[in-house]
Amino acid sequence: MKRTISGNFAAGLFLLFASAASLFAQYTPGQYTEDAPLGTWNVFPYLGASALGRGQTAFAWGTDASVSTANPALLPTLSDKWSLALGGSFRYATAMRYGPVNSGVLGTSEAVGQKLASGDSAALSFQSGRLALAASVFLSESYARPSLEASSPDYYDIQFSQSGNLRVYHLAAAVRLSSSFSLGLGLNVESGRWNSDYVESILAAGYTITSSKSADLRNLYFNGGLAWDLSSTVRAALTFRTPSKLEARTETVDRYQTWTGTDISIRGNSDDSFDRPLVIGAGVTVRNGPRLRSAMDVSWFHWSPCEAVWLGEMEARNFRDTVRICLGGEYLSEAVLFKKSRTVPIRFGAIYDPQPQASPGSAYFAFTLGLGLEIGRLRLDLGAMMGFESGSGDNLASRRITLGASYGF
């Protein structure tokens, strides 16, 4: 890591490094390293509201253009020539050890929560004959952490905050090879930014130490799959996401300031990277009757060879491969709205989502519910997930509510 020093560093430089040593010497983040997505590590694929409500099942079941991020081979199965889909969500997740929290000078008695509301996605698809195309942008990962502050009047004030996200720009094409078989491939370009700030003011001594880090993130990977209608009631699918390397151009600024005018800055930069795993998935959906449909998705995440370079240093991640299992279903009910009968899908599901860190081994167990409304070619969908973590001893939680709207024309 390259570093430059400016200013008169005298006693302040010693205090700066002494503080940094006490901050990170005991850093054992577990679930939440700097690059850990908020909630689960297993973020593939992006899921709209309808898929979230039916237990995150999307490999063999598509309802609108957003399905391309899970399996582009499903694009030719959409019922409309054009499909436009928009989505937004509210997320909540808790964390116990991250940055200096419960691993340095800041401590809590229990896990603390982070709320995040965002516009998640916009997707557009088109099909003509055997060919289908799609373009979308969606929020892939959030690096937000609960902000924390500790203070004692006239003695000290300590604050920590972290934010950031990663968005994906997605293009895909699919072809129907026969009446029952289709293939698809997607190109994904990721771009984002990550920031963290640690500020320690020792009021009694009259100095402030600030440690700021930021990184510009970029990545490229492919996803694809196939879909096969085994019969009029059963569809099977295989999907994949290629392994990739999330590159980070990182800048750091460590600053020491006193009330008497001393100002010391230590600046650095490094080229860092975080491995993202190969993912292979399989899914099946079954029409159990004229109104009931069920599905199962299984995803294998090849985390074990993944490594990270952070601030110019290789980090041993000690990850394990994981297998996520998603089960879901949908029942088509009806309701009278504006004096007309409307289709109202009722969705439900369950998820087993083990996390990659080998020690402590942990997993999320989640239940989902969803509701839809079809008004002509307009579809409105609401999906909700409630997840509980077990294994780490921290009793972490993960919640998500997603609202989506799609229109076919």
User: Residue 284 belongs to a domain with what CATH number?
Assistant: 2.40.160.60
Closest CA to 35 of 188, 246, 322: 246
Name the residue range of residue 7's domain: 2-408
**Type and span of the H or E element at 20:** helix 10-24
At residue 224, the pLDDT reads 98
Cα gap 299→279, rounded to integer Å: 7
Displacement of CA 247 from its chain's centroid (Å): 17
Tokens linked to 191: 């771009």
Torsion angle of the four alpha carbons 285, 79, 239, 309, in this order, in degrees rounded to the nearest 10: -120
Binning the chain into helix, strand and coil, the percentages to the nearest 5 are 10, 65, 30
Nearest to 294 by CA among 28, 61, 69: 61
Run means of pLDDT, 10 residues per run, the chain, 409 residues: 46 42 41 87 94 97 94 95 96 92 84 93 96 97 94 90 96 96 98 95 91 96 98 97 97 93 92 96 96 98 95 88 98 88 95 92 96 93 96 92 95
What is the predicted pLDDT for the residue at 100? 87
What distance in Å separates the CA atoms of residue 65 and residue 69, rounded to the nearest whole number? Answer: 9
What is the tally of structural domains in the chain? 1
Q: What does the pLDDT read at residue 10?
A: 38
Q: In this structure, are residues 235 and 228 in contact, taking their beta carbons and an 8 Å threshold?
A: yes
DSSP state string for 166-212 = EEEEEEEEEEE-SSSEEEEEEEEEEEEEEEEEEEEEETTTTEEEEEE
| Cα distances (Å, whole numbers) of residue 346 to 293, 329, 407 | 11, 8, 19
The answer to whether the CB of 147 falls within 8 A of the CB of 112 is no
Q: State both tokens at 3.
A: 């570093």
Question: Which of 210, 214, 199 has its CA nearest to residue 255?
Answer: 210
Residue corresponding to tokens 């991250």: 98
The CA distance from 279 to 283, in Å, is: 13
| pLDDT at position 1 | 56
Q: Quick one: DSSP state of residue 13? A: H
Model's pTM, two decimal places? Answer: 0.90
> Rounded distance, CA 51 to CA 329, Å?
10
Q: Distance between CA 403 and CA 335 in Å, rounded?
A: 20
Cβ(320)–Cβ(300) below 8 Å = no
Which tokens is 363 given?
Answer: 């997993």
- In whole angstroms, how far apart are CA 23 and each of 43, 89, 143, 308? 30, 34, 20, 21
Q: Give how far Cα 159 sits from Cα of 90, 211, 246, 393, Å.
A: 25, 11, 28, 26
